[in-house]
């Protein structure tokens, strides 16, 4: 990076940066002369973060906090106070926006003749992560029927927009499901519902919240490409389709791409945290697990590659889920088995990660900046990696020593599947039950004395309930 005087270019936000270099807008002005910059984003990191360091010249200070509030002749600029806490920041790499956020921290340091001002911050979605809700206590409106509706309702007071990349379908309508109180944090509330639906929730470069499925590698077969990635060029006189085999659509990294664009690639595998077999028993009545026949059995689930694990490496989980009041345990068993399958797949997927240091900021397949939650195939011989992996995290950085670089972590998509959870709606049967007026109560409506305003459930215990030991 060139070491130049602190400069401010223009007074209006230019959405097309003048160069491919890292471009930083602070308060709608382009700021230069930084020592290094780093932007981190990940599927499981919300909000995304940034760090930048600026070198100060002799006599400069970092305390001119009203730098942008006054008219300053560009030729006389000698202050670094433009990096003010609370200022809005927009960062572009290769003329593509990578982050919209606020400066939250500033550190001015002097060591061995170097006077440095370092700033850091997060995406503009940080208020929905840090702050409690601005919505009234109670339930989400009945009109919030899907994840996008709920997210817009919870985030709109902070000016955060929502992008729904799913098909919008949900297991059931969300209105009157999750209770909101004064301590509810909007992001936590919505992410729980996303987890229930098996969706991801993260922020993008524009400061929007994204609802998405875990990425999968798109099929190469579409209107312009065949299953081998060949490009469709037309139809000959005999009506036969012609395909260009030299201009392929590729979504798999091979040895050639790795050799040209990747500085380093590491393939990490482990058996730690994995088990050959996962079992669960539902002990709905408490007490020592497994000593009586009141347990509800669930079929065990195996690791996707159990032969990689030593014999006898098994795990048993005890669930204390309440026994269904109607005696039907099918749904309970199905959920517990789904939970076991999730654990087996997630532990297997998390045991395989690819760490890559790539030259530059651009993904050679998409021709755009690297992004989390994109899925690509790997077909490598050094190291030997086969299969589809999802970008879990991206860290862009640039300095005088390193130049433009990107650190990437890929992981099996099974490791990113949200954990199945149960959300309990408003409990049916807790409302007062009106009974006909009668003369014994002076004509006033009363509630059922038999139920005594308790849950309207049968007093008859289920068939496998424990017997009273005193009998």
What distance in Å separates the CA atoms of residue 35 and residue 111, rounded to the nearest whole number? 15
What rounded mean pLDDT belongs to the chain? 75
In this structure, is residue 196 part of a structural domain?
Answer: yes
Same domain flag for 256 and 191 = no
pLDDT of residue 330: 82
Q: Which residues of 135-159 are buried (b: 16+ CB within 10 A; e: fewer)?
A: beeebbeeebebbbbbbbbbbeeee
- Structure token digits, residue 436: 């006909």
Same domain flag for 48 and 90 = yes
Q: Which residues of 351-367 are buried (b: 16+ CB within 10 A; e: fewer)?
A: bbbbebebebbbbebee
Is residue 115 within 8 A of residue 55, CB to CB? The reply is: yes
Same domain flag for 13 and 117 = yes
Who has greater pLDDT, 71 or 202? Answer: 202
For residues 114-124, give the mean pLDDT: 87
What distance in Å separates the CA atoms of residue 404 and residue 214, rounded to the nearest whole number? 28
Interval 15-60: pLDDT, tens? 688 888 888 888 777 777 677 899 999 998 899 999 988 776 655 5
Determine whether 17 is exposed, middle or buried from the number of CB atoms within 10 Å of its CB (0-12, 13-18, 19+): buried
- Tell me, what CATH number does 135's domain have? 3.55.50.10
pLDDT of residue 48: 96
What distance in Å separates the CA atoms of residue 227 and residue 209, rounded to the nearest whole number? 33
Q: Is the pLDDT of residue 80 over 70?
A: no
For residues 105-122, give the mean pLDDT: 84
Angle between helices 147-155 and 186-197 (to 10 degrees): 170
Q: How far apart are the first and last CA of the chain?
A: 85
In this structure, is residue 299 part of a structural domain?
Answer: no
What distance in Å separates the CA atoms of residue 19 and residue 2, rounded to the nearest whole number? 13
User: At 348, is the pLDDT very low, low, confident or very high (cuts 50, 70, 90)?
Assistant: very high
Same domain flag for 75 and 37 = yes
pLDDT of residue 400: 78
- Counting residues of the chain whose pLDDT is more than 70, the rounded percentage is 68
- Number of separate domains in the chain: 3
Same domain flag for 70 and 26 = yes
In this structure, is residue 458 part of a structural domain?
Answer: no
Same domain flag for 262 and 409 = yes
Same domain flag for 19 and 147 = no
In this structure, is residue 32 part of a structural domain?
Answer: yes
Same domain flag for 35 and 118 = yes
Same domain flag for 105 and 171 = no
Same domain flag for 118 and 141 = no
Same domain flag for 378 and 261 = yes
User: At 419, is the pLDDT very low, low, confident or very high (cuts 50, 70, 90)?
Assistant: confident
Q: Which residues have a Cβ under 8 Å from the Cβ of 471 and sit 6 or more positions away?
A: none
Range of the domain at 148: 128-212
What distance in Å separates the CA atoms of residue 429 and residue 432, rounded to the nearest whole number? 8
In this structure, is residue 180 part of a structural domain?
Answer: yes
For residues 380-392, give the mean pLDDT: 93
């Amino acid at each position: 990076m060139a070491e130049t005087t602190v400069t401010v270019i223009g007074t209006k936000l230019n959405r097309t940066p003048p160069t491919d270099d890292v471009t930083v807008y602070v308060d709608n002005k382009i700021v230069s002369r930084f020592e290094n910059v780093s932007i981190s984003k990940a599927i499981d990191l919300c909000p995304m973060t940034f760090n930048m360091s600026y070198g100060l010249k002799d006599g400069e200070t970092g305390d001119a906090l009203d730098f942008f509030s006054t008219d300053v002749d560009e030729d006389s600029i000698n202050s670094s106070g433009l990096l003010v806490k609370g200022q809005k920041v927009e960062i572009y790499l290769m003329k593509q926006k990578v982050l919209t956020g606020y400066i939250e921290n500033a550190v001015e340091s002097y060591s061995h003749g170097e006077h440095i001002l370092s700033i850091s911050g997060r995406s503009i979605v940080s208020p929905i992560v840090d702050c409690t809700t601005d919505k009234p206590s109670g339930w989400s409106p009945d009109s919030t029927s899907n994840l996008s509706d709920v997210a817009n309702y919870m985030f709109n007071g902070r000016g955060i927009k929502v992008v729904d990349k799913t098909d919008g379908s949900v297991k059931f309508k969300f209105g009157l499901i999750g209770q909101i109180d004064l301590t509810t944090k909007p992001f936590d509330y919505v992410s729980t519902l996303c987890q229930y639906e098996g969706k991801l929730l993260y922020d993008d470069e524009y400061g929007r919240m994204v609802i998405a499925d875990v990425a999968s590698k798109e099929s190469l077969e579409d209107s312009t490409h065949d299953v081998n990635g060949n490009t469709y060029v037309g139809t000959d006189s005999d009506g036969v389709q012609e395909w260009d085999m030299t201009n392929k659509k590729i979504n798999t990294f091979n040895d050639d791409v790795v050799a040209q664009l990747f500085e380093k690639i590491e393939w990490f595998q482990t058996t730690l945290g994995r088990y050959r077999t996962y079992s669960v028993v539902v002990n709905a009545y408490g007490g020592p697990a497994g000593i009586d026949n009141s347990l509800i059995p669930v079929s065990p689930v195996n690791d996707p590659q159990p032969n990689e694990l030593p014999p006898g490496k098994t795990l048993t989980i005890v669930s204390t889920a309440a026994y269904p009041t109607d005696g039907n345990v099918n749904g309970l068993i199905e959920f517990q088995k789904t939970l076991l399958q999730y654990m087996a797949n997630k532990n297997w997927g998390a045991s395989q990660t690819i760490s890559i240091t790539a030259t530059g900021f651009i993904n050679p397949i998409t021709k755009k900046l690297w992004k989390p939650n994109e899925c690509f195939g790997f077909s490598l011989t050094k190291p030997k990696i086969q299969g589809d992996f999802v970008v879990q995290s991206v860290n862009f950085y640039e300095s005088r020593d390193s130049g433009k670089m990107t650190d990437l972590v890929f992981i099996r998509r099974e490791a990113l599947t949200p954990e199945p959870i149960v959300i309990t709606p408003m409990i049916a049967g807790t409302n007062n039950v009106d009974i006909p007026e009668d003369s014994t109560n002076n004509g006033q409506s009363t509630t059922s004395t038999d139920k005594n305003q308790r849950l309207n459930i049968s007093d008859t215990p289920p068939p496998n309930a424990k017997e009273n030991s005193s009998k």
